[in-house]
Amino acid sequence: MPNDAPPPIHSTKDALDALAGILGGALPGSIAAADDPAAALLSDPDVASAVSGRLRGSGSGAGNDSLCRWLYDAFRSNVPELQLAVLRFVPTLAGVYLCRAVSRKPLAGFEAVFLVLYAHAAAQRGAGEAETVSLPNLANPSPYHDAKVPPKAKPAELDVAVLSPPLEPHGTVRATRRARIVGAVLQLYHGKLAHMPLSSKMDFCEFCVAWAGTHSKLDGADKQRLPPARDAAGGGAEKWRRVPLPWELFQPVLQIVAHCLLGPTGSDELKAQAARAAECLYWRATETVDARAVLATRSLVRLSQMVEEPIPEPSFSGAIENMAELEAMRANILNSKN
């Protein structure tokens, strides 16, 4: 980031004052009056709309972008609530950045934010530590059945699958590292997804449709995938475009979409948008013929169809009638004995 930037942020008050200056007006009074202003900042729809609009602007993401500087400093403040407020805008940051990166525009502001988020994700995981999961080895006898063949003295070891390779330190974003860095940031966002407001998840699902570059059966013939960004200078609208989706980027994208679809949310709108994103990602996976992506997205699409089908409520009327008959038979038996 440029050296002539404002002083770094050390507290929530510093962050609110700096953001108000960037947006060109005072923040809503409800934020300053809240018991936890940073948490109020995370969930305030007006501020979120203003920040997202600035990030989608045609001139955003440059090295001298004051909003990117604010996101950078706010996350480095190490205030957990402010870090959540920054993560809230990861969908918009990733969406705009990936769509513009293919055109090779200078996006040093966006890249600085991604690098500080990536460094935090790498520090959380540990140096050289891969994210793994242990899978049961079918060569071991089941504890619930008697083995026909006596087990070996030493049981077979568990199979270990690598979900994410170690995060190596990076000081710059190159084309060969872009998917790895953005994917790690999306995994960081996924870890805090339960704290994110609904609008942030909706933004992510919208950009997934644009990234996939394919149509869903839920789309109309002329339905626009994502509202384009309007040039502040009065120019034409910017179109969000299809982007490369290697597995290291596709995997965290699918994890977030799955959480939006199957997670504990009461929003039918979010579930519908996540189902649309899952279907678009499925058709994209079939085009690239990536077996892992095809299997994962097809399973998610089937789950989305199961979610849409209403589950019938169980009926206890028959059981009640049977109980009444049993009680009558019991009474007759007792009377006959007497």
Of residues 251, 268, 271, the one with CA closest to residue 259: 271
Domain ranges of the chain: 12-126+161-308
Compute the CA torsion angle 331, 332, 336, 338 (nearest 10 deg).
Answer: 20
Q: Render pLDDT for 31-72 as a digit per residue (tens, 0 to 9).
A: 878 888 888 888 889 999 999 999 998 888 888 889 999 999
Q: Render pLDDT for 51-60 as a digit per residue (tens, 0 to 9).
A: 999 999 888 8
- Rounded CA separation 142/48 (Å): 52
Confirm if 290 and 246 have CB atoms less than 8 A apart.
no
Inter-axis angle of helices 80-87 and 12-23, nearest 10: 30
CA angle 43, 49, 52 (to 5 degrees): 105
Q: Render pLDDT for 210-235 as a digit per residue (tens, 0 to 9).
A: 999 876 665 553 344 444 444 443 34
- pLDDT at residue 225 in the model: 43
Question: β-pairing, 159-164 with 237-238?
Answer: unpaired
* Total-model pTM: 0.78
pLDDT level of residue 97 (50, 70, 90 thresholds)? very high
More confident residue, 333 or 146: 333
